[in-house]
Amino acid sequence: MSREEAPDPSRPPREDGSGEAPRAQEMTPSPPGSPQPMEPAKSLDPQPGGDQGAEGQPSVGSPEHPLHIRTKKLVLHMDINNTILVSDSATHQGPVAALNSYLSTVCWGKFNQEGEWQWLSEFPSLQPPSPDASSFSSNFDCHTSFTSSTQGSCFQTLFSSYLQLLEWPGQPDAVFSVQGENGRHYHRVLPAFFKLLAGLCQQGRRFAIIFRTFGKDLISLLQTTHNALHGQHPQFSSLKEVMLPVDLRPGKVRCSPNKVMVSRGKEMVSSWPDARVVYNYFSAIEGLAGFQDHFDWWAKNNFSSQGGKPLWVDPCDPEVQHICFDDNIRLQDKDSIIHPQVFLGQGGQEYCTVPTSELYNICLVQNDLLQAIANPDYFLMTVNQCEERYDQYLSKVQADRGS
C-alpha cells in the first residue's frame, strides 16, 4: 500500500487567501516524550513509559522543549469525549468501545469495482490519504467493535497498544479510574490533560479551560477536575498547589437563527445585537468552567459547521487567544463541529464566518486522540504550536487589512 508524504502541519494559510487544506496527515504517535506530536510516526507500536517529568509536572521547558515567554491569556475550549475522556456515558461506551469508535473514524479505505472494501492506508490519519477515501465509520455501523470486525482486524495490534497505554496503574480509584468492558481499569481522564494544567501554571500563564460538549459527562468531569486540583489524584497530587478555581455550575449554549444564548446559573448573555458580549464573556472566564452546547441545532443544520459550537476569534485583541480542541473538527465545513467566526475590526461588532481551513491548527485543533494517549505533553506542545501559528496568522491578517 502506498501513502502520500505527510505535509508540514505548521504551515500557515496560503497567502493567496485560499485557505488550501493540507493533505493527509499521519497521526499515529511516537512514544511518550516525542518532541513533535503532529509529525508522522515511525512506529506503529507505542511503548508505555517515557520521560514524563516530575510528578504532575510536564517535561517541556527542557533544552529539547524551550519555553517561549508569552503574555496573552489562553482560553482553551475543550471537547470532552474522545478529547480528554476515552469513554462516553451518553452512548454507554467504555474505553474499549470508545477507542474502537475513534479508530474507525481515522482509518481510510474505499469500495473497489467488485464492491469489496479495501484499505488505502495502513496507518490512521486525521485527513483522508486521497480524495476518494472515506472513513470506515462512514460506511459501516459496527464501529464500536471496529478492530474485532473482519475488515478492521488488521488494526488490532495498534488498538491493543493504545489500550495498554490507557491502563490505570496500581489499585483502581473510585474517581479517577474507570472499569472497561474487559474488566480492566483505565484512566478516566487522560494524564495529558492534568499535565496541561500543571504545565501552564508552571509557566506562569494566564489561562482558562472551558469544557464544551454535547454529551452528559460535563458535571462529573467538573467535579473530577475539582478533586484533582485538591490533590486527590494519586499520580498528580502536586496539582493541589495549582490554586485554579473550578466553577461547578454547568452552563448552556443555545443557538437560533438570530442569536446565541449563553447561560450559567443567573448569568445570561446573548450575541444579539452584539456578539462581542459573548466573546467578552468567554474571554473573562477564570479557571475551569463547562458548557453544554446545542446538539439539536447542529443536527438541524445537517451536522455542518454552520450549526456547530460557536467560537468567536478577535485578531485585534492583544490580550486573549482562543483555541478549541475537538475530535470532530474537520477541514470540510460540511462535516465540522465548530462554527468559527472572526471579528473584522478592532472593538467593532461586525464579524464573519470563516472556513475551518483558515484557523485549522491555529485556533481549531482536530484532536489527535492517539497522540493525547501516548504523549503526556501533547496538549502543552500543541498549544505552543498554535500560539506560534497564531502570530503568523495575525501578521497575515494585519497585512491583508492594510493593503
> Can you read off the three cell numbers belonging to residue 94?
467504555
Output phi, psi for 371, to 5 deg: -65, -40
pLDDT at 211: 98
Interval 202-243: pLDDT, tens: 999 999 999 999 999 999 999 999 999 999 999 999 999 998
Residue 17 has pLDDT above 80, yes or no: no
pLDDT tier, 399 (very low <50, low <70, confident <90, very high otherwise) = confident
- The residue among 303, 126, 285 whose CA lies nearest residue 293 is 303
Q: What is the 3-state secondary structure (H, E, C) of 67-135?
A: CCCCCCEEEEEECCECCCECCECCCCECHHHHHHHHHHHCCEEEECCCCCEEECCCCCECCCCCCCCEE
Interval 345-380: pLDDT, tens: 888 899 999 999 999 999 999 999 999 999 999 999
Range with lowest mean pLDDT among 44-48, 71-75, 306-310, 338-342: 44-48
pLDDT at 90: 84
CA distance linking residue 360 with residue 10, whole number of Å? 10
Q: In what order do the strands lie in the sheet with 351-353?
A: 309-313, 338-343, 351-353
List of residues 6+ apart from 203 with CB closer than 8 A: 61, 67
Task: Output the average pLDDT for the chain.
Answer: 86
Residue 26 has pLDDT above 70, yes or no: no
> Do the beta carbons of residue 130 and residue 162 sit within 8 Å?
no
- The residue among 81, 99, 106 whose CA lies nearest residue 160 is 99
Interval 184-206: pLDDT, tens: 999 999 999 999 999 999 999 99
Domain definitions of the chain by residue range: 60-85+189-403, 86-187
Can you count the helices (H) and strands (E) in the chain? 9, 16
Interval 34-43: pLDDT, tens: 334 333 333 3
pLDDT at 345: 86
pLDDT tier, 89 (very low <50, low <70, confident <90, very high otherwise) = confident
Tell me the whole-structure pTM to 2 decimals.
0.84
Q: Between 362 and 396, whose confidence is greater?
A: 362
